[in-house]
Amino acid sequence: MNSFDWYSPDEDSYTLVDVLQEENIQNSLVIDLGTSTGFITNSLDKSNVIIGSDLNLKALKKQKEGNLIHMDLLNCIRQDLIDIIIFNPPYVLNSNCSIIGGGVDGCAIINRFIKEIECNIFYLLVIEANKPKEIIKKIEAKGYTVQIKKIRKILGETIFILKGKNKFFLNI
């Protein structure tokens, strides 16, 4: 890996956790996509069954315990069985570091996620530079309603926490 082996929690992760705690998620099957250190997983109510997934094997090995899956985005998951997916993706523009880099516009991984998403509810963190309005349009085109749950300005960027809810999801 470039410069570091996993992403340590920072203001973006804290903002996402603030929203998740306000949402009071309980008794749900949750995927923490790109779990890294497990900070988000560990912040959720213990009544949930939480699966942490990451492409970065070093980050998963660091966690030592929990329900962990080594996978690339959602390719190993039956999303119809999942209640909620939480994703703090690599979103930094023009970074060559796979831990934080999201390509030229910061949306390479975000766009892949949007193409793959089929679950009922998800939370997605993006920044202003990722063009949240365009991201929301793409998500809505997949049949989701989208709420902006929080906007937080921090040093150098503005964070948006989006909540997507599938209009057509049948929870059987």
At the topology level, CATH places domain 11-166 in Rossmann fold (3.40.50)
Amino acid at 119: C
Nearest to 84 by CA among 36, 49, 34, 132: 49
Q: How far apart are CA 41 and CA 32, in angstroms?
A: 6
pLDDT score, position 1 = 38
Average pLDDT value for residue range 73-80? 89
Nearest to 89 by CA among 153, 141, 26, 135: 135
User: In this model, does residue 2 exceed pLDDT 60?
Assistant: no
Nearest to 108 by CA among 118, 97, 119: 97
Average pLDDT value for residue range 88-95? 68
User: In this model, does residue 84 exceed pLDDT 50?
Assistant: yes
b/e sequence 153-165, b meaning 16+ C-beta within 10 Å: eeeebebbbbbbe
Average pLDDT value for residue range 109-136? 94
pLDDT band at 56 (very low <50, low <70, confident <90, very high): confident
pTM of the predicted model as reported, rounded to 2 decimal places: 0.87
Q: How far is CA 111 from the centre of its chain?
A: 12
134 contact partners, CB below 8 Å, separation of at least 6: none
Cα maximum dimension of the chain: 44
Average pLDDT value for residue range 143-152? 97
Average pLDDT value for residue range 49-72? 84
pLDDT band at 62 (very low <50, low <70, confident <90, very high): confident
User: In this model, does residue 164 exceed pLDDT 80?
Assistant: yes
Q: What are phi and psi of 129, to 5 degrees?
A: -65, -20
User: In this model, does residue 30 exceed pLDDT 80?
Assistant: yes
Q: What are phi and psi of 24, to 5 degrees?
A: 55, 55
Q: What percent of the chain has pLDDT over 90?
A: 51
Q: Is 21 helix (H, G, I), strand (E, B) or coil?
A: helix
Q: What are phi and psi of 3, to 5 degrees?
A: 10, -30
Tell me the average pLDDT of the chain: 85
Identify the weakest region by mean pLDDT among 59-63, 75-79, 130-134: 59-63
